[in-house]
Structure 1
Amino acid sequence: MEKIITCIDGSAITTSVVNAGTWAAKKLDKTLTFLHTLEKKQQHGADDYSGAIGLGAQSKLLKEMTELDEQKSRLAVKLGDELLNSAATAARSSGVVNIEKAQRHGDIVDAIMSLEDQTRLIVIGRKGAEHEGDFKALGSHLETLLRKASDPVFVVPEQFVEPKSFMIAYDGRETADRALQKVIDGGLLHGIDCHLVSIKNNEPLLIDKFNSAAERLKDKGLNVTTAVLEGNINETLLRYQVENAIDLVVMGAFGHSKLRQFFVGSNTIKMLERIAVPLIVLR
């Protein structure tokens, strides 16, 4: 069974993530699975206080700290359950029938990857509670997830509205062709106005590939607007998105070699840091 894995953490962005997951589940008619993780944080470390207080006092304090940690863990589980129940209620009121709730201990990426064989789409906020108020900051696990996940990742900003248009950033490379095929086969973006946009580069036969890509989209019944532009990749794509009021952007992940990414950075991450609309990353 393919599922829409929707990751929630209780941060301010959670409502938008729930709305995005709900929209995707309804559009694809798939089970909506809300996932919440409890990441263990070291409370008191391994510091040695024996030089400052007596051993008896230290033992008593450590016992109290352990009991406090246990109490916090129980409360975290209860809060997680409430968060999952609230998300499920909101999704159900919006018309989603098949809903699952999952709470896991440990790393969020590990939890997502454990569900990989059941996943159709991963929905996650562009930043978590640790980065609230910082527009450019990405969730600490997001880049790791994008490098590991083989399924599409739907990255949601602070506000989500049902998209009426989307843009595919196409560069003629293998990752772009794979992303294009997933859009054609997937169904999530069918019925939405499509903008196919390319920035001139050194890719051989770019224009021929671009025209072929446009025809493939049109053959699937999509309403396609095309544009081949010049300039800095991220600046030009962002400007086109704003000027054309595009609601959602689709990109292939990490199209360059790891060595090139080390020196010039990844266009995928740069777009995530700056774009104000949802972005779907396809491998």
Structure 2
Amino acid sequence: MSYKSILTVLTRAADAQLAVGSAARLAQTLDAHLDVLVLGVDRTQVGYAYIGSGAVMMQIALDRAEAEARETEAAVKAELAKRPPGLRASVEAAVTQLGALSDIVAQRARFADLVVLARPYGEGKGAESEAVIEAAMFEGKAPVLVLPEAGLGEAVLPKRVVVAWNQSAEAMTATRMALPMLKLAETVDITVVDPPQHGAERSDPGGMLCQMLVRHGVHAEVSVLARSLPRVSDVLARHVMDQNADMMVMGAYGHSRFREAILGGATRNMLEKAEIPVLMAR
């Protein structure tokens, strides 16, 4: 398996340099095709309105979404124009209501080998930023590389990777989908935090995963850590710093009674504090 179709999704022009610049560098390094989806989002939720005013409100919101889409599309094309010759890329722009955004993103993500997105939290980020990442992972079933503010490192591809392993199906899916990256890394650290004493891997935590990765040519080792901080995400974040890692791989966890899933607390905590790219899958 290799990444040959890379997708990035933008809902605001401010993310063009980070998301498009990073995704384009990755696409050129991996000889992949880059698809950029630009969405102008109508964020209005009309509950009630006086007679005649609802249509006016909807038209104003639609005009604003179209203007934002044009502005973002222009920023994307300007960023792509900076790339060296040879990049294969396409740009698609559309306008959608917030409620329909997930369907559009999921449809595109299903046909991508990897989705590259800016971190959904921070100044200026709205509900649509988190909705995009949720749709790509939970409904599109695609691996998502979430970028910190610094973007990708100078080497583009990671050299030192930490894999967060807890024996779950989500962690296994993320690891399998990260294999193209793991095989190119210099070292891969399988990190197990406070493994259960009576689990399936009680005698050798992470051992079977390490064996699988080594058979794929991955330079893998295992670190078993105590839960010395209140949250597992805190332990992982500190270990990433200790290892001087430049990418983390972890399963995406979520919960919802009304939609397929929303990001759970552990996933949100990791994304909020991560200073390196995080590859997640469900």
TM-score (norm 2): 0.77
Change (3 A) 1:29 1:201: same
Which residue of structure 2 lines up, in the alignment, with residue 89 of structure 1? 81
Deviation at 1:255, TM superposition (A): 8.2
Match of 1:219 among 212, 215, 221: 215
Q: CA deviation at 1:230?
A: 0.9
State the Cα distance separating 1:144 from its structure 2 match.
4.9
Q: 2:174 aligns with which of 176, 179, 185?
A: 179
Amino acid at match of 1:31: H
Correspondence 1:194 to 2:188: yes
| CA distance 1:76–1:207, shift in 2 (3 Å) | same
Q: Which amino acid aligns with 2:123?
A: E
Shift of 1:11: 4.9
Please give the TM-score of this superposition, normalised by the length of structure 1.
0.76
Asked which structure has the greater CA Rg, the reply is 1
Is 1:151 paired with 2:142?
A: yes
Once the two structures are overlaid, the 10-residue window that deviates more, 213-222 or 39-48, is 39-48
Q: Which runs of 5+ in 1 are unaligned?
A: 51-58
User: What does 1:44-193 correspond to in 2, within 5 Å?
Assistant: 47-48=49-50, 72=64, 75-90=67-82, 92-93=83-84, 96-106=86-96, 107-127=100-120, 131-132=122-123, 139-141=129-131, 142-160=133-151, 161=153, 162=156, 163-184=158-179, 187-192=180-185, 193=187
Structure 2 residue runs of 5 or longer lacking an equivalent are none
Q: CA deviation at 1:72?
A: 4.0
Contact 1:28/1:188, CA 8 A, preserved across alignment: no
Over aligned residues, Cα RMSD in angstroms? 3.5
- Asked whether the 8 Å contact 1:168–1:250 carries over to 2, the reply is yes
Cα shift at 1:157: 1.5
**Contact 1:250-1:281 at 8 Å conserved across structures:** yes
The residue type equivalent to 2:87 in the other structure is: V
SS of the counterpart of 2:206? helix
Per-residue CA deviations over 1:63-110 (Å, capped at 9, x if unaligned) read: 9878866754553343233123123223x32x5521010112214432
Aligned length, in residue pairs: 260
CA distance in 1, matches of 2:203, 2:13: 43
**1:105-151 Cα distance to aligned partner (Å, 9 max, x none):** 214432221224421111111126xx4278xx993313454332311
